[in-house]
Copies of this chain bind each other. A is one copy, B any other.
Amino acid sequence: MAQKPETAAAPDGGDPGNAGAPDQPEPTLGTLAQIAAMAGVHPSTASRVLRQSEPARGWSAAALRVLEAAEQLGYRSNLLAAGLRNRRTRTIGLVLPRLQDYVVAALCQAIESTARLGGYHVLLTTPPDDMTAQMDSVELLLSRRVDGIIMTGLHREESVFEERLAALPVPVVAANRRDGAALASVACDDLEGGRLATEHLLSLGHERIGIVAGPRHAASAWDRLTGYREALAAHDLAADESLVVHTQFDVGGGVLGGHTLLSLAEPPTAIFAVNDTAAVGVMAAAYQRGLHVPDDLSLVGFNDIPLSAHLPIPLTSVRSDLGQMGALAVHELLRAIDGGEARSQTLPVALVVRSTTKAR
């Protein structure tokens, strides 16, 4: 068909005569139809050419004209239309509450980079850290027809949601939490990490070890707490529940937890904070009470964020590889998208001893 005159909105009043080479930087993204018209071929031909790599014996004449036209137009394929047609958007949805948390941000960064390398884009949501808000986010992502979803904020013991997620028409992978009932997960070995941290303190002669254990709903934190309990039990130490305090993951939570523990009648000589950020808060609390780390109080964190190594008193921590965790989450999700099955993965952890822990 000839070109539709359409709205005739072109304000440039360019001559409609012959070869109209655009002098301005292209104000539009172009369409296959435009390219096809310009190259004197059928749109479907343009489509094919643009998506092939150079065929065995070079481009055909028509193909060259297509390439040329695309170049001139500054053509960018419309992934919306392609997604509609292919029923596949090459987009993954992210549900990441608490994005300011370094751990989440690092995960996000790794996920996006890995996805981009794999030809996928990332639709991000950072809803409040409750399950209903997160499920709302999932709905939105579904409307955008993402090919799969990665979530980091799943609460433990809310299997209702987990089952609903598993029943979704697209695969869902949970990151930063252990294998759940219905969903594949990618996480570090939080249990082992909790053990490692606690055993380190035990081996230093500490017997009264407090724990700043994160929010009750956080699966990763809970596993670290469990590791802590197991390590204590292995040393026949009675679990004193007053030594377990649940707070937020942020610095403020650490400060609060630190004060709570240190104001006990019989305060702990060591504290395990289940994340580094909170550990910094505990450190601040100790200082506020005139206690010196590590002389008066030993302290272990978790995640080994970059900050930890560069504190005035470098923090002993349990290292987890967040970059790898993000990358793996993407890989497993892509596997599922490609018709395979996402497998749960557990990443190793390692204790990094620095200057906040000391023998009694």
Pairwise interchain contact A251-B307, C-beta atoms closer than 8 A:
yes
Select the stretch in A50-58, A59-67, A102-110, A236-244 that faces chain B: A102-110
CA gap between A267 and B252 in the complex, in Å: 34
Contact partner of A169 (CB less than 8 A), chosen from B29, B124, B164, B286, is B29
A4 within 8 A of B: no
Q: Are B112 and A125 in contact (CB under 8 A)?
A: yes
| Interface window among A80-88, A195-203, A209-217 | A80-88
Contact status B100-A109, CB under 8 Å:
yes
Whether A254 is near chain B, meaning CB under 8 Å from some CB there, is yes
Residue contact A121 to B123, C-beta cutoff 8 Å: yes
Residue of B nearest to A251 (CB): B310
Most buried by B among A91, A124, A126, A309: A124
The complex places the Cα of A81 from the Cα of B109 at a distance, in Å, of 29
Binding site for B on A (CB under 8 A): 25-29, 76-81, 83-84, 89, 91, 94, 99-102, 104-106, 108-109, 112-113, 116, 121-127, 139-140, 142-145, 164, 167, 169, 250-252, 254-255, 277, 280-281, 283-284, 286-287, 306-307, 309-314
Q: With contacts A84-B84, A105-B108 known, what are 15 further pairs, Cβ within 8 A?
A: A29-B142, A29-B145, A77-B143, A80-B80, A80-B145, A81-B84, A91-B144, A99-B105, A100-B102, A104-B105, A105-B105, A108-B126, A116-B127, A122-B123, A286-B312
